A and B are shown apart, each in its own frame.
Chain A
Amino acid sequence: MNSTSLFAIEGQRKLFIKKDLISLSHWIDELEAVDNELNSLKHLEQQVLKNAILSQDITTFRRKNTLTMGLLCQYEQELRAEFEYGKAIYDVKIAKLHEKKRDEYLSIKRGFMLLKDSVYKLLETCKRN
């Protein structure tokens, strides 16, 4: 393989890792937004709903979200190191790991949708006055 091809392969490898880093950065931002929304939901639960089970659900979910955020931040560091110094080609192993991380992220997103639905249904029963 000549040096031009090697440069092309290296360029493409970096491009694909960069793409994974961009989507990963979006996931981390999304989980930070989930954390902020949890603050609002917690506040409303304390002020209006006063529901002990819901309060516990929010606390448990926040822990899960924080843990997943930490794992994704760790993965981001590993991917950045791969981008800067790695030599491995972008292959099925790297793609499968990225998809596994996506599943972890999506599990939080889906759980949060369910949690929000339960809060919204309770808030919908509240009326002005």
Chain B
Amino acid sequence: MKNMNSQVYSHDNEVDLTHKINASELNNWIMHLQYTKKEINHLVAISNGILDEKFVDSFEEKHNENYDFLNLLTSYKNSRDSIMECEDNECDMAFISDHENFRQRYTYYLENYRKLKDIFFEELSATITSKK
């Protein structure tokens, strides 16, 4: 693994390409989690206005999980600089395997966050409908 900027070059081998694709993907996960942090603030504000702060604790929990996971991904992103020092296939595969583990955690976080949002939107709709 010799050139770790995310630009793809014709001389990149398949392992280089995979590391670069993983780097792009990691940036996307971080971007999404940063947006989620902002989204939680919006949902808490809506909850405060319409649902008597009912969901504040649940969203705060998700906010904290988001904060911890973002820190973890940022630390993982920094650790990827050492991919350049990989000298054998085993080292490259260890990074690829780590990436897949982070993907599972990311997916798990999103699934749970979405479940909470679904319940929130259902409750929001029901509350608004009952007031009419």
Interface residues of A (CB under 8 A from B): 12-13, 16, 19-20, 22-23, 26, 30, 33, 36-37, 40, 43-44, 47-48, 89-92, 94-96, 98-99, 102, 106, 109, 113, 116-117, 120-121, 123-129
CA distance A126 to B39 in the complex (A): 17
Give the chain B neighbours of A26 by CB distance below 8 A. 103, 107
A36: B residues at CB distance < 8 A:
118
Q: Which of B24, B35, B96 contacts A99 (CB 8 A)?
A: B24
Q: Is the CB of A113 within 8 A of B35?
A: yes
Q: Is B10 positioned at the interface, with any CB of A under 8 Å from its CB?
A: yes
B26 to chain A, nearest CB (A): 11
Contact A124:B24 (CB < 8 A) given known A12-B14, A90-B14, A99-B8: no
Q: B52 interface residue, CB < 8 Å from A?
A: yes
Q: Is B75 among interface residues, defined by CB-CB distance under 8 A? A: no
Which bracket fits the contact residues of B? Answer: 35 or more
Q: Which residue of A lies closest to B22 (CB)?
A: A19
Number of interchain pairs (Cβ within 8 Å): 94
CB distance from B83 to the nearest CB of A (A): 15
Contact B14–A124 (Cβ < 8 Å): no
Q: Say how far A99's CB is from chain B's closest CB, in angstroms.
A: 7
Known contacts being A48-B128, A113-B35, is A99 close to B49, with CB within 8 Å? Answer: no
A102 near B24: Cβ-Cβ < 8 Å? yes
Excluding A19-B96, A33-B114, A126-B46, 19 further A-B contacts by CB distance (< 8 Å) are A19-B100, A22-B103, A23-B21, A40-B125, A43-B121, A47-B125, A48-B128, A90-B17, A91-B14, A92-B12, A96-B8, A102-B24, A116-B39, A117-B42, A121-B42, A123-B50, A126-B50, A128-B49, A128-B50
Partner of B9, one of A19, A33, A92, A94: A92
- Tell me the bound Cα distance from A26 to B129 in angstroms: 34
Contact A16 B14 (CB under 8 A): yes
Q: In the complex, how many angstroms separate the beta carbon of B62 from the nearest chain A beta carbon?
A: 16
Does any Cβ of A come within 8 Å of B32's Cβ?
A: yes
Query: How far apart are A22's CB and chain B's nearest CB, in angstroms?
Result: 7
B residues within 8 A CB of A22?
Answer: 100, 103
Cβ–Cβ contact A92 & B17, under 8 A: yes
